[in-house]
Structure 1
Amino acid sequence: MANSLVIRKGTNLEKRSRALRAAQYLRMSTELQRYSLQNQAAAIAAYAQQQNLTIVRDYIDEGRSGLKIKGRAGLIELIKDVESGDADFDHVLVYDVSRWGRFQDVDESAHYEFVCKQKGVQIAYCAEQFDNNGSLLSSIVKNIKRVMAAEYSRELSVKVHAGLCRLASLGYRAGAPVTYGLWRELVDESHRSKGRLGKGEYKSLKTDRVRVQAGSDEEGEIVRLIFRQFAVEGKSDAAIARDLNRAQVGNQHGRPWSYLMVHTILKNENYIGKVVYNRTSNQLGQKLKRNPPDQWVRSAAAIKPIVDEEQFARAQRIMADRYITISEDEMLKRLRTILARKGRLTTRIINSAPGLPCSDSYVDHFGSLRKAYALIGYSASRDCDWIDCHDLWSGVLEQHKAQAIEALRSDDGICISSDETGAGLKINGLNLSFLVARQSAKPKPEYVDHWRVYTRPVPLGLLVVLRLDGANRAVRDYVLLPLAKKCDGHYLRLSDMALARLHALRFERFDELIDAVRKRLAASRAASATTIRTNKRVKPSRPKTKNGRARR
């Protein structure tokens, strides 16, 4: 027929209908008005009308920097839809190259565009003077535009950093929220106060400034108490935090104190009237780095002092002595001195000795405290055999866990999930944990054998304890006990006399233990089924009249 519609061979109607569909990507940080979302959308709509495109999707990143893709949910979603094949469009319309991103590595910007092209989605920059058609001219201009966008961010970062350093040198606040005993005041360009800034509040006008002021007299007294206890009385950060919590003194957030909060206050120069800036920096979204003290920007007499400078300096000297760097030979020499003075060595003695590195430092340098002891010719009285064979018994627990999985997996109606972080299983929602308990030494021969196991990290459910023999070299027997609630002190004593009180069962062989676990699971399933049947509601029958009809 002459008027019939003829479809050429190989024509994909779905693809041709999608060819006129487009998505728009809008991004705005906190820059100029010409980059507002409304202006971008208007320019993109005009371009779409010229190219006979229909905008069917919007991907928006509002208030997001273009330095990296992290945090840009709109662009992440766009790339995800394109890669997964869920995109129902063949064009992505962007205002210009800088809205796609100001990536510091221009290859990253090209990578995301290549991902779209590989899936048949074309990127169009609506406000640029070139067509993104892959020609030599467009490729050169587009790459130059990407470099210019990245360089703009670098120059802007330098200017902003210099401006913040200048504000800090004039005594204004240019950083994070203040600590305890301080508050922020907003002032205008004539230094007139505009009120107090609360938590999470920031200035809205570029001409406004933020100053730091001393808090109430009560807060100032708490700050002076912290410095006095640390610098004069010799208390540690943790001890000061405990004293404040016992006195029910809240921090700036109204929550209990920690030793890190106390340590932050002891280092803060705001309490002697100085504003300090540029201690850390992460320009252009890079990793946060600590700057050397010669790059810090200080402004003296910017805040009313709360603490005496001499006491503050003494606190800094005490903290500096904590982190003094000495050689390993000097570490061992000081350890010998403490040994000669105390006659023995323990973790508590090492940590409390003045001028001696903490026990963790000896572990980091020598591998363990016992190796450090051996280098100075000292043998600790503590039995460390259990520590040496810890890895061995961890492997034994893993073997028993694997055997339990193999034995129970073939049973019908049992669903097993393994805990990859420890020797534990979850069987039909019931936790089954494995622990090793070594036999404690008996003070007298007539005492009964007893074992002690630490249950704090174990979830509630069933606990399998492998009790070791007298030499703690082999498994003596197995104990299965229910844990319905956390134990006081987190320790369980598992002598033979205590098993009945704990409702525990003892088994000589592991297969007997598995049979008992099966019975527990069957009883649990039966009880669950009975509960479901008893909880079923029975519809009450209506009383009937004499003639058999239901009473209305």
Structure 2
Amino acid sequence: MRMSTDDQKNSIENQLSFIKGYAAAHNMIIVKEYKDIGISGLKFDNRPAIQQLLSDVINHQADFEIVLVYDMSRWSRSQNTKESRFNLYLCEKNGVRVICCVGNGAKYDSNPDEFSAEIRELFDLHDAANFSKNLSLRVFRGQCHLITLGFRQGGSAGFGFRRVLFDGAGNRKFILKRGQWKSLQTDRVILEKGPQEEVDIVNKIYQWFVYDRKTEREIADILNSESIKTDLDRPWTRGVVHQILTNEKYIGHNVYNRKSFKLKAKRVSNPPEEWVRKNHAFPAIVPFDLFEQTQDIIYKRSKKITKKQMIELLRKLLETKGKLSGLLIDEQENMPSSSIYRAKFGGLLKAYILVGFKPERDYSYIETNKNLRDMYPQILEQVNKVFKEYGSEIKQLSNGLICVNNGLNISIILSRCITKSPSNHQWLLRFDSGLKPDITVAVRMKPDNLNILDYYIIPHLAIQDDILKINSLDQFTLDVYRFDSLDFLYKSTTLIPLFKVS
């Protein structure tokens, strides 16, 4: 049994009650219980109960022949369904069957003799994994929407600010202290100016930098000499001062999604085009013109150093630290800031490439997406041309939507190929549900992302989520919609003349 949050107070009890009923109905005796309480199902490694179960089975210390689970999502919500299936296989290999008690699972177990059972198992594991993924996506979209409304999403307030809690009706409740978080889903958090002494210090930092031409290190030394601590009650560093000098929240702008940490994956820095922002979301601490002067100084001081020198400094930092990051760059003395590297080289990634550093996250998709955007109008033009050759009437609507024969709205989307390994590729089909097309044509690209692999012709009624993932190792469930060309669509929409019969 497993439940992910303490809010599901009756989840374990409900699962156990149902399992006991199933066992009694099938003349089984329950001899042991395994419970993962308040633990996410995304990773097996973080779940002590199921780890113990697998250990008992593998080491032949299990005094049972069957494992009952409420449904497959209680076994796992792992995004790696192969891991979930492998753990089922370990049980089966050691003589222990895993049986689900509800839904389709009530009709199958891990016994490999029934092929249809294996198929249902695959579907259930896929659904369990997708639930977490889709939930994460919906939560992220909701957070982005709240940002555009001026609400704060996650993270500390920062020096000079305080997080203030409001209820769903917009009534102010109280200031959240460090380590405190909202407890009600309907509550909202906004930033307000903190104590006047902190606001004054922030302005002094900007004034020292702009008017007195002090460096970030010199400013940090002044603050430390006066025994002033950061908002995290730590000494000041060059990097912390630089962050204050470059963070747009000090002019009231709310910026979100600079970094991502979804579904227990590694934290990654996102490119600026993926940031979500709301300007003038809350009161500014620093005058806009002072902030602009600051950014201008930070940019201009980099002109004293050539690109070649910047790359050499970056290479030496990589040799010393073994890795690179924006914060690491900002902490270095006598080195341009990370924002200067972005401005000079068109992004940190491009500077990293020049010194042979490859971040854990692959950012090559940025260039690929640009190429696909350039390719899209050509594909759209070709599709329209062939429709007309088949005698169909075409009207070009907005956002890639075309109307065929004044009755059928078709959306054309491109899906780049994401290479996971030489034998494993992935495609994300991003549907624009706002257009409400009758049919979506998903153009799937080959691994080189230069040539078309095939097409998915998907009716609107078959689309349940805004994003659909296709994996080259596990895509048979959608084969009914796959075509090597669009001939079927062209022929299906051809007008057939009707003749009067007397």
CA contact (8 A) 1:249 1:256 kept: yes
Q: How far apart in 1 are the matches of 2:248 and 2:310?
A: 33
User: Which residue of 57, 75, 98 corresponds with 1:82?
Assistant: 57
Q: 1:453 — aligned with what?
A: none
Structure 2 contact 257–275 (Cα < 8 Å) conserved: yes
The answer (yes or no) to whether the contact 2:99–2:106 under 8 Å persists in 1 is no
Q: Which residue is equivalent to 2:23?
A: 48
Distance 1:321 1:289 in 2: 29
C-alpha distance in 1 between matches for 2:151 and 2:270:
20
Is the contact made by 2:152 and 2:189 (CA closer than 8 Å) also made in structure 1? yes
Q: Which amino acid aligns with 2:267?
A: L
Which of 76, 94, 100 is matched with 2:69 structurally? 94
Q: Which among 111, 131, 142 is matched to residue 108 of structure 2? A: 131
Matched, 1:149 2:128: yes
Deviations 1:512-545 (A, max 9, x none): xxxxxxxxxxxxxxxxxxxxxxxxxxxxxxxxxx
Q: Which one has the largest radius of gyration?
A: 1
Residue 199 (structure 2) aligns with: 220
2:99 is equivalent to residue 112 of structure 1: no
Offset at residue 168 of structure 1 (A): 0.4
How far did 1:186 drift?
Answer: 1.1
Match runs of 1:77-476 below 5 Å: 77-127=52-102, 128-132=105-109, 133-134=111-112, 135-320=114-299, 327-328=307-308, 352=334
Change (3 A) 1:222 1:34: closer
Deviation at 1:44, TM superposition (A): 1.6
For residues 21-60 of structure 1, what are the structure 2 equivalents within 5 Å? Answer: 26-30=1-5, 36-60=11-35
CA distance in 2, matches of 1:319, 1:54: 72
SS at 1:200 equivalent: coil
Q: TM-score under structure 1 normalisation?
A: 0.52
Alpha-carbon spacing, 1:117–1:318, altered in 2? closer, same or farther (3 Å): farther
Once the two structures are TM-superposed, the CA of residue 276 in structure 1 deviates from its matched residue by 0.9
Query: Which ranges of structure 1 fall in alignment gaps of 5 or more residues?
Result: 1-25, 333-349, 367-552
**Cα gap change, 1:249/1:353 in structure 2, threshold over 3 Å: closer, same or farther?**
closer
TM-score of the aligned structures, taking structure 2 as reference length: 0.57
- Contact 1:91/1:124 (8 A) holds in 2: yes
Residues 333-373 of structure 1: per-residue CA shift (max 9 Å, x gap): xxxxxxxxxxxxxxxxx96599999xxx9xx969xxxxxxx
Would you say how many aligned residue pairs link Structure 1 and Structure 2?
319
Distance 1:111 1:352, change over 3 A: closer
Q: Is the 8 A contact 1:175 1:277 kept in 2?
A: no
Deviation by residue 1:471-494 (Cα, 9 ceiling, x = unmatched): xxxxxxxxxxxxxxxxxxxxxxxx
CA shift, 1:326, in A, is 5.5
**Displacement of 1:213:** 1.1
- SS of 1:283's equivalent in the other structure is coil
Amino acid paired to 1:293: P
Given that residues 28 and 35 in structure 1 are in contact (C-alpha distance below 8 angstroms), is that contact kept between their aligned partners in structure 2? no
| Equivalent position SS for 1:235 | coil
Between the aligned partners of 1:323 and 1:199, the Cα distance in structure 2 is 36
Q: Secondary structure at the match of 1:211?
A: strand
**Could you tell me how far 1:169 is from its partner in structure 2?**
0.5
What SS class does the counterpart of residue 34 from structure 2 fall into? Answer: strand
CA contact (8 A) 2:311 2:355 kept: no
Is the Cα contact below 8 Å between 2:254 and 2:281 reproduced in 1?
yes
Contact 1:66 1:99 in 2 (8 A): yes
Q: Which is worse superposed, 319-328 or 40-49? A: 319-328
Rounded Cα–Cα distance in structure 2 between residues aligned with 1:56 and 1:137 = 29
- Partner Cα separation in structure 2 for residue 296 and residue 55 of structure 1: 52
Structure 1 pair 121–306 and aligned structure 2 pair: CA distance change class (3 A): same
Q: Give CA deviations for 1:390-420 in whole Å, capped at 9, x if unaligned.
A: xxxxxxxxxxxxxxxxxxxxxxxxxxxxxxx
**Aligned with 1:148: secondary structure?**
helix
Q: Which residue identity is paired with 2:199?
A: G
Identity over the aligned pairs, expressed in percent?
37
- Cα offset, 1:272, TM superposition: 0.9
- Cα 1:184/1:47, change in 2 over 3 Å: same
Instruction: Supply the AA of the counterpart residue of 2:89.
Output: F
Q: CA 1:79/1:260 → structure 2, altered by over 3 Å: closer, same or farther?
A: farther
Q: Tell me if structure 2 keeps the 8 A contact 1:95–1:126.
A: yes
> How far apart are the structure 2 equivalents of 1:331 and 1:106?
42
What is the Cα deviation at residue 291 of structure 1? 2.0
RMSD: 3.3
Q: Structure 2 regions of 5+ residues with no counterpart?
A: 313-331, 342-350, 357-502
